[in-house]
């Protein structure tokens, strides 16, 4: 039966809907969002929206349905909380009832630029602007009649105004993000933060791709004129988007990728950049995207009369965001695919202020730091985080990983060895002291370091082995002062620096204890060595 605007979602148990808006274009979704008072059009064309009290992800409200087919695969814990099939069905039935006589918006799109590893995704949303978000963030085909033959591999039903009842539904709050691999379905409710849509599908890909011997990665990727691909791993706020959006290179993607035997490919079709205090001078390409039609600006303040935005205003949240399609950027890889990387950069925001701005890693150290995923949770990225605090996030993306970190580390290690990839650690966080005392590394110094790595200028410079972490710190980098390369020189109290670094090393070692039973002795050789 041919789908019409009044039918076609019965397979998801959605019946008696007031209207189904199939695959609306960006202008149509703008019109719907404004008509429904979901957002305002700002000067030059971006759509400005607010996400309410959820201005970031809600990690404590994410669940995976505990079914027979995934039970033995999932690395259960705080990042992957189990919920029963009974609780899921009870909640889903009430959600289906809630949507009766309501309008919904549907985008049919893809996750995965490589057709061999592509997932067909149907996103059903209560809000028009959430549908535009899905249109921006996933990969779209330009055939407007795609839905006539589209059969989704996975479906997301996103209903912000529907709330769970924890006592009945087995959730932690009224908010829920639930992935059911058996039904190939994601339910999202009780939150208007659109990032939950993209991150839920990323979690799905982190389960499916390794089964195909493809490494799924929370990283950005770009490529130079000589086809040299670089990967940038890191959590939100560490600089993935900023550093990979380089005017001298071509962006493959800014957040989620797969690495197969054929090379690297983007999982998404758009970017989701933090824009708080975004500088036109330091980040010109991202800045221009905040001034374009089709961009969604989340929680950015807007002058009600002039309709001009203020990117410096953090009164709503530090986690202000821009969602825009890759086509908004001037230098992108059109098919979102590249070859095998020559360099891998692990980005960290060191809130203690003791790690150098750059260090070269041995293979064992690279695997150790990958599993450690040391960084800081940056203010506003998650609910309840008011200021940066240090954390360890395995694989630089623990909230989105489904398997034990050793599964992803094994895949990464095989590929690093096979393709002879150089691995680096870059600290974009603090220097001269811990949080409250130290200052953040200058973005230009970090850019100069990244450029030197990608141009091969750091490959053969003189290095000094760190006495505790063992990685190699360059004694020279073009256009970077010596006291920047050596963080100890930036501290007034050298003894305090030494003790702080030892304390951080102990935290690395303590954190790794929970993984020791599943990782090799070689990886443990990459651990810090404490010296009395």
Name the phi and psi angles at 80, rounded to 5: -125, 85
Catalytic residue at 199? yes
Catalytic residue among 66, 158, 254, 255: 255
Look up 58 and say whether it is catalytic. Answer: no
Catalytic residue among 81, 163, 218, 257: 218
Catalytic residue status for 342 = no
CB 74 within 8 A of CB 402: yes
Alpha-carbon distances of 9 from 20, 28, 94, 164, 289, rounded to whole Å? 9, 21, 16, 22, 34
Catalytic residue, chosen from 87, 122, 163, 199, is 199
Q: 55, 175, 216, 236: which is the annotated catalytic residue? A: 236
Distance CA 140, CA 137 (A): 9
Which member of 125, 175, 220, 241 is catalytic? 241
- 236 carries an active-site annotation: yes
In Å, how far are 64, 313, 355 from 223, measured between CA atoms?
A: 35, 33, 27
Known catalytic residue at 218: yes
Strands 19-22 and 103-111: parallel
Q: How many CB atoms lie within 10 A of CB 321?
A: 27
31-59 burial code (b ≥16 CB/10 A, e <16): ebbeeeebbbebeeebbbbbbeebbbbbb
Catalytic-labelled residue, pool 117, 130, 240, 383: 240
Is there a catalytic annotation at residue 420? Answer: no
Q: Which residues contact residue 396 at a Cβ distance below 8 angstroms, ignoring those fewer than 6 apart?
A: 218, 219, 233, 234, 235, 346, 347, 370, 373, 375
Helix (H, G, I), strand (E, B) or coil at 301: strand
Look at residue 8 and give its three-state secondary structure: coil
Pick the closest to residue 296 from 284, 285, 309, 305 (CA basis): 309
Residues near 35 by beta carbon (within 8 Å), at least 6 away in sequence: none
Active site members: 57, 199, 218, 236, 240-241, 255, 321
């Amino acid at each position: 039966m041919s789908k019409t605007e009044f039918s076609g979602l019965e397979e998801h148990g959605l019946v008696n809907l007031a209207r189904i808006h199939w695959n609306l274009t960006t202008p149509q979704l703008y019109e719907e969002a404004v008509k429904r008072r979901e957002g305002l059009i700002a000067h030059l064309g971006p759509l400005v929206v607010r996400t309410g009290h959820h201005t970031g992800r809600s990690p404590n409200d994410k669940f995976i349905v505990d079914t027979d087919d995934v039970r033995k695969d999932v690395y259960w814990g705080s990042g992957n909380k189990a919920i029963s099939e009974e609780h899921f069905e009870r909640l889903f039935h009430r959600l289906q009832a809630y949507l009766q006589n309501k309008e919904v918006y549907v985008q049919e799109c893809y996750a995965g630029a490589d057709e061999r590893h592509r997932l067909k995704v149907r996103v059903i949303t209560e809000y028009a602007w959430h549908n535009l978000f899905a249109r921006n963030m996933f990969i779209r085909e330009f055939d407007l009649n795609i839905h006539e033959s589209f059969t989704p591999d996975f479906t997301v039903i996103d209903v912000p105004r529907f709330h769970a009842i924890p006592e009945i539904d087995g959730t932690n709050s009224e908010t829920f993000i639930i992935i059911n691999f058996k039904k190939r379905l994601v339910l999202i409710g009780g939150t208007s933060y659109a990032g939950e849509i993209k991150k839920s599908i990323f979690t799905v890909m982190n389960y499916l791709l390794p089964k195909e011997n493809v490494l799924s990665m929370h990283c950005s990727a770009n490529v130079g004129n000589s086809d040299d691909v670089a990967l940038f791993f890191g959590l939100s706020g560490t600089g993935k988007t900023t550093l990979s959006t380089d005017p001298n290179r071509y962006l493959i993607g800014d957040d989620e990728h797969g690495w197969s035997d054929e090379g690297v490919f983007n999982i998404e079709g758009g970017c989701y950049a933090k824009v708080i205090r975004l500088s036109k001078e330091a980040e010109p390409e991202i800045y221009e995207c905040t001034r374009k039609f089709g961009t969604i600006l989340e929680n950015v303040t807007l002058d009600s009369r002039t309709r001009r935005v203020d990117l410096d205003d953090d009164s709503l949240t530090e986690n202000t965001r821009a969602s825009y399609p890759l086509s908004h950027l001037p230098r992108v890889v059109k098919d979102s695919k590249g070859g095998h990387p020559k360099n891998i950069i692990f980005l960290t925001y060191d809130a203690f202020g003791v790690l150098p701005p750059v260090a070269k890693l041995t293979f064992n150290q690279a695997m150790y730091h990958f599993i450690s995923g040391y960084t800081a949770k940056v203010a506003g990225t998650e609910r309840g985080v008011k200021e940066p605090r240090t954390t360890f996030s395995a694989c630089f993306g623990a909230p989105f990983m489904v398997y034990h970190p050793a599964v992803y580390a094994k895949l990464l290690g095989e590929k690093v060895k096979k393709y002879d990839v150089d691995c680096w650690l870059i600290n974009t966080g603090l220097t001269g002291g811990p949080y409250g005392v130290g200052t953040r590394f200058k973005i230009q110094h970090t850019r100069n370091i990244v450029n030197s790595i990608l141009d091969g200028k750091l490959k053969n410079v003189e290095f000094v082995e760190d006495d505790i972490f063992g990685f190699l710190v360059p004694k020279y980098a073009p256009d970077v002062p010596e006291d920047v390369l050596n963080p100890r020189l930036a501290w007034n109290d050298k003894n305090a620096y030494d003790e702080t670094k030892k304390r951080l090393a102990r935290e690395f070692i303590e954190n790794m204890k929970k993984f020791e039973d599943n990782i090799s002795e070689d990886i443990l050789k990459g651990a810090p060595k404490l010296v009395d």
